[in-house]
Structure 1
Amino acid sequence: MTKILPFKAVRPAPAYAGLVASRSYEDYSEEELRAQLEFNPYSFLHIINPGYKFQHEIGGEKRFGMVRNRYLEFKEENTLIQDKSPCYYIYQIKSREATCCGIIAAASVEDYEKNLIKRHEDTIAHREELFKDYLKVVGFNTEPVLLTYPDNPVINELLEERMKSRPEYEFATYNRELHSLWLIDKPENIEKIKAEFDALEKIYIADGHHRSASSYLLAKESRENNPDHTGEETYNFFMSYLISESNLRIYEFSRLIKDLNGHSKEEFLILLDEWFRIEDRGHEIYKPSKKHHFNMYLEGKYYSLYLRKTQYKFTDSLSQLDSYILYEKILKPILGIEDLRHDKRIAYIHGRNDLIELKTRVDNGEFAVGFGMLPAGIEEIKEIADENLTMPPKSTYIEPKLRSGLTIYEF
């Protein structure tokens, strides 16, 4: 039984929604960021980049306090307004490739603690602590954790019916996406949705492991410091975007390695031959069509690598994951890549970008070799989470990616 509740979101006044909403801070180039801050006074980027107002770089806890101040200014100016009653929020993103639709709601930290909200990635302790401290000072969160659940006909019908009416927000973005948001505020519909989520035994984190872990740490600390703790306080929940499994779009990450770890090309291919059947594809662009098949680009040629299944033993769901196989049989033992997060010799390209980028970066000498694979499936991710195992870093690139500032959860 999972606890997914409506909440009173702080949101842009309708006239400002398209101007306030921003991509994730890290998605902007320096030039794009500067243009947004210079020419759009309503952008949420002004809140998370408060030093721009004073033309000064600010870091640490001083920055956290200034984020809080800029947020309060947006509220004082009525650019951001809080809803008077708890709602669920339907958020739809239409792109040229696909349409996804889900519910923004508050998920329970207790469910996370009890592993009813299942995770499949490791987190880094210092990043958890840093974001926990950030949340504690600023008092709000604007980036929902992406959660997924099995397709549910009752929820689908409720969403479809509500979406027949005019949305609260509807705006287009430069990358040709159409963003729409509806409120579910009728008590009978709220209760129906709540009941459907109550009936779920578990849900899965698709994206946002650090955000959920930091929210748990904040709740734990707040609980310990509150003698009147009831479990209903806002810190006991974190904002989430819940979408059905069929709405998820999962891509792979390709791996680029700076050098062959002292091996010649011939030595490297011989070492690969122990675990893989290798075919030289020449200049033909090759992308795998099956699990346990990999593509490799090396010295101007494409290669296909097929795992020798008579040699390799599958022991659990993780051992069958292609990113794990690549790490265990090539990256770590042959190329000497132990730390997939921090080793400067490895870089990643997510699968939405063309294989041509991989080729270009090897051809220009920036990297020596590149590897690609098929994306993991949702069932693979769920099996790994159910076995309480964790995938290697950068195993999946999952969409949708939501805009910041459209709904804000206050603690």
Structure 2
Amino acid sequence: MSQLALVQPFQGWRPLREHVSRVAAPPYDVLNSDEARAMAEDNPYSFLRVSKAEINLPVGTSPYDAAVYQKAAENFAALKQQGILVQDPQPCYYVYRLIMDGRAQTGVVAAASVQAYDSDRIKKHEFTRPDKENDRTEFAWQLKAHSGPVFLTYRHNVRIDNLVNKVCAGEPIYDFTAPDGIQHTLWVSADAADNQQITEAFDALAHVYVADGHHRSAAASRVHRRFVEEGLGRDDEEAPHNRFLSVLFPDNQMRILDYNRVVKDLGGLSRAAFLERLGEAFEITPQRVPCTPNQRRTFGMYLEGVWYKLVLKAEIADPEDPTKRLDVSLLSDHLLAPILGIEDLRRDARIDFVGGIRGMAGLMARVDSGEMAVAFSMCATTMDDLMAVADDGQVMPPKSTWFEPKLRDGLVTQGF
């Protein structure tokens, strides 16, 4: 198979304008089943009935039950049959803008190449879990569609900026504010000549990066292989199973929040012994207010109702390795592993992770409730960090990045 263009326009399935705010839903992985059921309770058109289809089955049904994938496909088909979702008659790009707290980020919704993913032209920075890959693969296979977009990023590019701005000069097809206060605006680019320029501009990039959606992109690769192995598909530019739904944002518009840690116990140490051990690697300063770090090698700690500022001592040099010098790695290598005995962030049940969107109050609540013994806050990982790790062919520790705002499911879906 010859090299496919990095991205292509596609014939997206979209809600009718009058239904978009009811169809569009939070991503499947930011809500549990009970939250999704409550959110969609009075809304038959919510895309949660596709992405979290267990809410249409008896309470307690596992999200991984075969009946859930079947129900998802049925509900997706029903939205199309009822005319709630309609397919664009020609291949389009879509420009998607999100505004959160007055800050905008604008990206291009496109069908990205599985070939580019498999060859590492689309670079990754996280390991995937087989159970989650299996889930997303079966979901896409039953729907014969990719719904939740993979969040890609690229080094900002003036040529692409100009093409995006040209599309945004027109009238948007959607413009609504979700219940969480985030504004979502979508433009449709249907002009073939304009779209060819967009294709060529992205194809001139050496690499793009998965920011969020490693399991969805891995699942798309598996769906492609399944099509080929079962003799159902072909390997050419026009075959939709060779592509997956993505939104590409320039790196200079991205917002990464901190991703903090809470731990159940002090590993058998008393408070005094724990602080003494900490003092071997960190300068420790009590704080009157919650500690929100704003520079590297600095951490906040909340223990027994008191905040502390922890600064890694100057004599501890930064590693050359781009993964090892991340703050999330420094915390693990100098505190979580040697002092608290937490070696495996993926499997150790003593540690949990709290997205920065919940703020310092979210950390304090976990400790004050008695559920956790200690919390750690840290600086957010930067886009430069993410790209350096991916460029080096490495992966970040678990829960290194929390992206906001979250992309809405159901705005555009790519069938195959």
TM-score bracket, normalised by the shorter chain, equals: over 0.9
Aligned to 1:409: 414
Aligned to 1:381: 386
* 2:325 maps to 1:320: yes
TM-score by length of 2: 0.93
- For residue 358 of structure 1, give the secondary structure of its aligned residue in structure 2: helix
**Higher mean displacement: 94-103 or 377-386:** 94-103
Give the residue type in structure 2 aligned to 1:365. Answer: G
2:227–2:233 Cα contact (<8 Å) kept: no
Q: 1:397 aligns with which of 386, 395, 402?
A: 402
- For residue 353 of structure 1, give the secondary structure of its aligned residue in structure 2: helix
Task: Quote the offset at 1:31 in angstroms.
Answer: 6.5
Q: 1:240 aligns with which of 242, 246, 251?
A: 246
Unaligned runs of 5+ in 1: none
Q: Distance in 2 between matches of 1:405 and 1:21?
A: 5
Write out aligned runs for 1:7-406 (5 A): 7-28=10-31, 33-50=36-53, 52-53=55-56, 58-59=61-62, 60-226=65-231, 229-232=234-237, 233-281=239-287, 283-312=288-317, 314-406=319-411
Q: Distance in 2 between matches of 1:374 and 1:181?
A: 32
Task: Quote the offset at 1:17 in angstroms.
Answer: 1.0
Give the residue type in structure 2 aligned to 1:48. Answer: S
Q: Distance in 1 between matches of 2:34 and 2:69?
A: 24
Task: Quote the offset at 1:52 in angstroms.
Answer: 4.8
Give the residue type in structure 2 aligned to 1:251. Answer: L
Q: Deviations over 1:34-76 (max 9, x none)?
A: 4443311211122334455565655422221121111111111
Aligned to 1:3: 6
Give the residue type in structure 2 aligned to 1:352. Answer: I
1:256–1:346 Cα contact (<8 Å) kept: yes
Give the residue type in structure 1 aligned to 2:28. Answer: Y
- For residue 352 of structure 1, give the secondary structure of its aligned residue in structure 2: helix
Q: Distance in 1 between matches of 2:29 and 2:342?
A: 25
Task: Quote the offset at 1:181 in angstroms.
Answer: 0.8
TM-score by length of 1: 0.94
Task: Quote the offset at 1:33 in angstroms.
Answer: 3.3
**Higher mean displacement: 138-147 or 312-321:** 312-321
- For residue 107 of structure 1, give the secondary structure of its aligned residue in structure 2: strand
CA 1:228–1:206: 2 relative to 1, 3 Å: closer
Task: Quote the offset at 1:78 in angstroms.
Answer: 0.7
Task: Quote the offset at 1:387 in angstroms.
Answer: 0.8
Task: Quote the offset at 1:112 in angstroms.
Answer: 0.9
- For residue 121 of structure 1, give the secondary structure of its aligned residue in structure 2: coil
CA 1:206–1:112: 2 relative to 1, 3 Å: same
- For residue 176 of structure 2, give the secondary structure of its aligned residue in structure 1: strand
1:275–1:312 Cα contact (<8 Å) kept: no
Give the residue type in structure 2 aligned to 1:67. Answer: A
Task: Quote the offset at 1:274 in angstroms.
Answer: 2.2
CA 1:6–1:272: 2 relative to 1, 3 Å: same
CA 1:130–1:46: 2 relative to 1, 3 Å: closer
CA 1:313–1:180: 2 relative to 1, 3 Å: closer
Task: Quote the offset at 1:164 in angstroms.
Answer: 2.3
Give the residue type in structure 1 aligned to 2:265. Answer: D
Q: Distance in 2 between matches of 1:55 and 1:295?
A: 43
1:89–1:184 Cα contact (<8 Å) kept: yes
How many residues are paired up? 410
Q: Distance in 1 between matches of 2:401 and 2:300?
A: 17
Give the residue type in structure 1 aligned to 2:267. Answer: N
**Kindly, what percent of the aligned residue pairs are identical?**
34
2:160–2:202 Cα contact (<8 Å) kept: no
2:233–2:241 Cα contact (<8 Å) kept: no
CA 1:295–1:54: 2 relative to 1, 3 Å: closer
**Higher mean displacement: 259-268 or 63-72:** 63-72
2:256–2:403 Cα contact (<8 Å) kept: yes
